[in-house]
Chain A
Amino acid sequence: MIRAASTFLYRRPTWYLSLLLVPPLLWFGTVYLGSLFALLWQSFYRIDDFTAQIVREPTLATYHQLVAQPANIDIIVRTLGMSIAVTLACAVIGLPIATYMARYARGRMKAFFYVGVMLPMWTSYLVKVYAWRQLLAKEGIIAWTADKLGMGSVLDSLLATPGIGGPSLSTSYVGMFLVFTYMWLPFMILPMAAALERVPGSLLQASADLGARPAQTFRNVVLPLAVPGIAAGSVFTFSLTLGDYVIPSVVGAPGYFIGMMVYTQQGTAGNIPLAAAFSVVPIVLIAIYLAIAKRFGAFDAL
């Protein structure tokens, strides 16, 4: 019976593929895309200011409200700025680590690094965020260590910097930036390492053989071939920062982020259309980001 079914499917690859793909595609199509579009559709409704009821007629009024209020623009700019900063930091910190993991580490050392990069993801996200709040607190270990090392004044002047500072690390944008960078770093390192692992060693030898110094080999051969990995990683760090609402609510200065706006608007405020309009913003920003990355040839080597 099973043998007959196997034989039947072996001769008919289309049936076999349909059997494999139809269930996940149904899930993806209805549950995932369906709810996404339902959400997006909500953004074209508006809320009646007097009755606080949703008016189910297509309108751009909600988008007008979104862009007309300077406070909303501030939120978008703040979130975008943080996302770019976090993405750049992850790329700068991640590249040496990924290079070491992919090109130099062998055997146990390699396993140690891969487990080490993924280990933080085994812990609850909330626990980590709250742990960071303790670390960054005014009497926390970071401030204490800085003080003991005689670097207290450095920390103070950092916190005194307008725009990114605050009363303590845990209530400043610098602190929030540190937590974001820590949280999303694995999502940058892993795709980068995967891209670098695929670069054959003979390409680096060929480059040196033709007269390129290590820095030239890195710039001309390693980096261009790592770019798809960097692009993939940066899409993760960028979009995760754009959409997050937990970290900005636990750590950092009181200013709102997009994720928090979505949370507040659909919850306490009951303004589903505005929440939906806000959640369109990251989608648009990521689409723009991907278009730019494509323009610069980030996906040419795929």
Chain B
Amino acid sequence: MTAAIEFRKVSRVFGDVRAVDDVSFAIEPGEFFAMLGPSGSGKTSCLRLVAGFDAPDAGHVLLDGQDVSAVPPYDRNVNTVFQDYALFPHMTVLENVAYGPRVKGIERGAREPAAKDMLELVQLGALGDRRPAQLSGGQRQRVALARALINHPKVLLLDEPLGALDLKLREEMQIELKGLQKKLGITFVYVTHDQGEALSMADRVAVFNKGKIEQLAAPRELYTRPRTEFVARFVGSANVAHASLAMILAGNEQPFALRGEHITVLAADSPAPSGAPTTAGVVVAVQYHGAVSRWQVKLDAGDVWSALVSEEDARVLEGLGVGSRVRLSWPRAAAVMLAAGGA
């Protein structure tokens, strides 16, 4: 099957910054694909290359097997939901949604019913006559979605689409977007810096760092088997043991990552579970999050690790707090070996 989108050794350079650095990957048709990374990691630059707002300095961008590196955005069967929604302020909601068919020369009589259907799809059927300025953030988001979907694109690009919404609305929209993608069967490319969003929605996630893809994998694999220190830290903020610390803790220089939820916090004088690796340190902070608390512990070796302590376990630790000496222990199998080096 031809890939919906393929990058072949694509680079995009701004001055001396390699925004996209020799990147290759392929997105399957119908896939929900997330590009995850901090700001400036190259994920939005990749999105702009797919949309056609920008052209690669080297390499090829293929849509449906066709090299589109030199094709302008208006000739690509790809539509975008913008971070700021980019709704036309001088048009009504209905006119905004009908804009795609309108510039393609479709009669008013045909495009307006189509736009109404799209508004129904995003549950805004009653608001067609409003101006964008009269809508709430969540409603604008839906209009932007309807406007992008009306052209029946093969690929929908979403650039941090939920960034401006509050938490509750964001979670609702995540479920809705995922459902919409399943229903329409369109390839979604979703750019975000929120690892929770990427993990919960995507079929596969590409983690970007400094213009390169650090790891491309399904969410569960990304979380349980991060390949590099960057991925381990960025996705679920794991603790990382570098070569020297790994030498102390595990007896060899292979760096490894360890999730906070796998670490057990014990009083300093309690016996270590037999066979399990262990280390000691001083508590520097305890953050209460409800179901769990995050204990920041400064290890004797110098690093600060964080351990997640459930409410249940916290009762055992009664009396311990900031400044207490504690022992950390974890099952040997929980340590995920990382590629040496990395960021």
Q: Which A residues lie at the B interface, using CB under 8 A?
A: 200, 202-203, 205-213, 216, 220-221, 224-225, 300-301
For A301, list chain B residues within 8 Å (CB): 89-90
A210 and B78 alpha carbons, distance in the complex (Å): 8
Q: Is the CB of A205 within 8 A of B82?
A: yes
Q: Is B185 an interface residue (CB 8 A)?
A: no
Q: In the complex where A210-B147, A211-B151 touch, is A203 in contact with B86 (Cβ < 8 A)?
A: yes
Q: Is the CB of A210 within 8 A of B99?
A: yes
Q: Is the CB of B84 within 8 A of A205?
A: no
A267 to chain B, nearest CB (A): 48
For A212, list chain B residues within 8 Å (CB): 74, 99, 103
A197 to chain B, nearest CB (A): 15
Q: Is the CB of B82 within 8 A of A206?
A: yes
A224 and B89 alpha carbons, distance in the complex (Å): 10
For B74, list chain A residues within 8 Å (CB): 208-213
For B89, list chain A residues within 8 Å (CB): 225, 301
Among B51, B79, B90, B100, which residue has its beta carbon within 8 angstroms of that of A225? B90
Q: In the complex where A209-B51, A209-B80, A210-B79 touch, is A200 in contact with B86 (Cβ < 8 A)?
A: yes
Among B52, B82, B83, B90, which residue has its beta carbon within 8 angstroms of that of A224? B90
For A225, list chain B residues within 8 Å (CB): 89-90
A139 and B317 alpha carbons, distance in the complex (Å): 101
Among A200, A210, A213, which residue has its beta carbon within 8 angstroms of that of B84? A200
For B88, list chain A residues within 8 Å (CB): 203, 206-207, 220-221
Q: Is B73 an interface residue (CB 8 A)?
A: yes
Q: Which residue of A lies closest to B144 (CB)?
A: A206
- Chain B, 70-101, contact with A by CB distance < 8 Å: what is the 0/1 string? 00111000111011101111100000000110
For A210, list chain B residues within 8 Å (CB): 74, 79, 99-100, 103, 147-148, 151
A138 to chain B, nearest CB (A): 50
For B84, list chain A residues within 8 Å (CB): 200, 202
Q: Is B183 an interface residue (CB 8 A)?
A: no
A254 and B152 alpha carbons, distance in the complex (Å): 65
- Contact sample, A vs B, 14 pairs, CB 8 Å cutoff: A205-B51, A205-B53, A206-B86, A208-B73, A209-B74, A209-B79, A210-B100, A210-B103, A210-B148, A211-B103, A220-B103, A221-B88, A224-B90, A225-B89
Q: In the complex where A205-B53, A210-B151 touch, is A216 in contact with B86 (Cβ < 8 A)?
A: no
A128 to chain B, nearest CB (A): 38
Scoring A209, A212, A213, A220 by chain B CB atoms within 10 A of each residue's CB, the highest score goes to A209
A216 and B100 alpha carbons, distance in the complex (Å): 11
Q: Is the CB of B104 within 8 A of A211?
A: yes
A301 and B132 alpha carbons, distance in the complex (Å): 12
Interface contacts (Cβ under 8 Å), in number, total 67
A30 and B87 alpha carbons, distance in the complex (Å): 45
A205 and B85 alpha carbons, distance in the complex (Å): 11
Q: Which residue of B lies closest to A227 (CB)?
A: B90
For B148, list chain A residues within 8 Å (CB): 209-210
Q: Is the CB of A205 within 8 A of B90?
A: no
Q: In the complex where A225-B90, A301-B89, A301-B90 touch, is A205 in contact with B73 (Cβ < 8 A)?
A: yes
A207 and B79 alpha carbons, distance in the complex (Å): 10
For A200, list chain B residues within 8 Å (CB): 84, 86
Further 13 A-B residue pairs, CB within 8 A, beyond A207-B88, A220-B88: A202-B82, A202-B84, A202-B86, A205-B53, A205-B82, A206-B86, A206-B147, A207-B103, A209-B52, A209-B53, A212-B99, A213-B103, A220-B99
For A220, list chain B residues within 8 Å (CB): 88, 99, 102-103
For A211, list chain B residues within 8 Å (CB): 74, 100, 103-104, 151
A204 to chain B, nearest CB (A): 9
For B82, list chain A residues within 8 Å (CB): 202, 205-206
Q: Is the CB of A206 within 8 A of B103?
A: no
A207 and B83 alpha carbons, distance in the complex (Å): 15
For B103, list chain A residues within 8 Å (CB): 207, 210-213, 216, 220
A248 and B276 alpha carbons, distance in the complex (Å): 98
A209 and B88 alpha carbons, distance in the complex (Å): 13
Chain B 142-158 residues near chain A, CB threshold 8 A: 147-148, 151
For B99, list chain A residues within 8 Å (CB): 207, 210, 212, 220
Chain B 56-76 residues near chain A, CB threshold 8 A: 72-74
For B52, list chain A residues within 8 Å (CB): 208-209
Q: Is the CB of A208 within 8 A of B72?
A: yes
A224 to chain B, nearest CB (A): 5
Chain B 109-145 residues near chain A, CB threshold 8 A: none
Scoring B51, B80, B100, B103 by chain A CB atoms within 10 A of each residue's CB, the highest score goes to B103
Q: Is the CB of B104 within 8 A of A206?
A: no
4 residue pairs, one from A and one from B, having the closest CB atoms: A202-B86, A206-B86, A212-B103, A210-B100
